[in-house]
């Protein structure tokens, strides 16, 4: 991809406050976005997450008051809740190693060193690492991937952090499954009259954000 | 961009363990990647981050032992440390509102409602939000943007979490500046003999990661 096209897409995107409720993503575009979520990188490749796509209208309506009544929850074409693993443990590592052996067509034993490194990390993480924070951070990589991918496909998004995670967990049945709500992403198409769409792109000056040492 | 091209780029990328130390990014490609970092979205648009590009060879060598001696630190063409704001406060909101008023050519007063909402969040965040964790999470959006953007431009990356943040902070002069090291990203071109490059792309099955409700 050419650099100018990439930057043009990233300047086109913005936090969409008002979606056009009548415009839906077509099936191919949505399937592609699910693949970009799946392909998001994560530490050790562990993918300590679940992405819950809320298709059910009644469930969307029920999430609305748990999301500061932000209309994107119900007006966007698609609404995805990003949940992260809570209490990650050696079993998660085993599950990943099993999958990896399957995809590579390799014996599990050939992955023993990798498994051991990951298991050590999970059992006794470095002093500065809090595992539940660490899995939550991974979910933000996927959030970034989904937002950038959407922009590349001409799809608008709004990341949703203003929500009540514990109430989401209860309503979505995450309680007791070992996952917890981290944030959500609304995807669709901007309404013709979304005032945010016409604001000039604003960032700090490059030199205030990027420093060379 | 066409969906198949996008997925092709995301399947092409992988965590590069061995970079070709002789291959450097050209100036335009690097400038584009700095712009994609700058354009990364963040909550409220606050950009609670600094991206430190480590150009100095001696500094890279000094970071190596603080990064589990992973050679990407010194072999990659570029190495960026992603730092997040520590102790975010109303002054950060004021700085952002000042910038926004400047970019929009609007009086500060027209942004009073937005400023008030952000200031309240920073002064008294919701019970489940720990501000330093929240700013750290934002840095992972930028990490995702940089990794995906790099892949689109044919640039290899390796996200680096295996590092000693407090020692990075001391060495990079972040101590006392109100920022802290969150993670790093090595960017460049894979070595011809990087064994990781030939592994098939592995993820859990789509249905194990994406659920419809």
Mean pLDDT of all residues in chain A? 97
Please report the pLDDT score of residue A160 as a whole number. Answer: 98
B44 lies in some domain: yes
B179 lies in some domain: yes
Domain count of the fold of chain A:
1
pLDDT, tens digit, for every residue of B48-74? 999 999 999 999 999 999 999 999 999
B9 lies in some domain: no
CB pairs under 8 A between A and B: 216
Cross-strand pairs, B186: B79, B158
B7 lies in some domain: no
Q: What is the CATH number of the domain that holds A83?
A: 3.40.109.10
Question: Which residues in chain B are closer than 8 Å to A209, comparing Cβ atoms?
Answer: 37-38, 47, 49-51
A208 lies in some domain: no
B23 contact A CB<8A:
no
Q: Are A32 and B3 in contact (CB under 8 A)?
A: yes
Q: Are A94 and A182 in contact (CB under 8 A)?
A: no
Residue whose tokens read 């920022």: B179
Inter-chain residue contact B37 with A202, CB threshold 8 Å: no
Banded model confidence at residue B194, pLDDT cuts 50, 70, 90: very high
Question: Which residues in chain A are closer than 8 Å to B201, comparing Cβ atoms?
Answer: 39, 103
Asked if this assembly's ipTM is beyond 0.95, the reply is: yes
The sign of the CA dihedral B96, B97, B98, B103 is positive
B46 lies in some domain: yes
pLDDT, tens digit, for every residue of B71-97? 999 999 999 999 999 999 999 999 999
A97 contact B CB<8A:
no
Q: Would the pTM of this model clear 0.90, i.e. be above it? A: yes
Please report the pLDDT score of residue A134 as a whole number. Answer: 98
- The whole-angstrom distance between B127's CA and the closest CA on chain A is 10
Residue among A52, A50, A54 nearest A88 (CA): A50
A7 lies in some domain: yes
B98 lies in some domain: no
- The whole-angstrom distance between A30's CA and the closest CA on chain B is 10
Residues of chain A with pLDDT under 70: none
Q: Which domain holds residue B140?
A: 18-87+128-193
Banded model confidence at residue B31, pLDDT cuts 50, 70, 90: very high
- The whole-angstrom distance between A186's CA and the closest CA on chain B is 14
CB neighbour list of residue B100: distance below 8 Å, 6 or more residues apart: A202, B45, B106, B111, B114
């Amino acid at each position: 991809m050419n650099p100018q096209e990439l930057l043009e897409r990233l300047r086109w995107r913005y936090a969409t406050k008002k979606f056009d409720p009548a415009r839906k993503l077509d099936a191919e575009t949505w399937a592609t976005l699910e693949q970009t979520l799946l392909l998001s990188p994560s530490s050790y490749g562990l993918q300590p997450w679940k992405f819950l796509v809320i298709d059910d209208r009644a469930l969307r309506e029920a999430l609305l008051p748990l999301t500061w009544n932000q209309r994107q929850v119900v007006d966007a074409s698609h609404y995805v809740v990003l949940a992260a693993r809570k209490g990650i443990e050696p079993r998660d590592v085993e599950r990943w190693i099993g999958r990896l052996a399957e995809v590579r067509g390799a014996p599990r034993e050939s992955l023993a060193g990798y498994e051991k490194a990951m298991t050590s990390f999970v059992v006794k993480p470095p002093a500065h690492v809090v595992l539940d924070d660490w899995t939550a951070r991974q979910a933000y990589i996927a959030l970034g991937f989904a937002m950038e991918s959407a922009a590349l496909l001409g799809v608008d998004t709004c990341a949703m952090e203003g929500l009540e995670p514990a109430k989401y967990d209860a309503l979505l049945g995450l309680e007791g499954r070992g996952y917890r709500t981290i944030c959500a992403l609304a995807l669709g198409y901007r309404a013709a009259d979304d005032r945010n769409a016409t604001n000039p792109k604003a960032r700090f000056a490059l030199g205030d954000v990027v420093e060379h040492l």
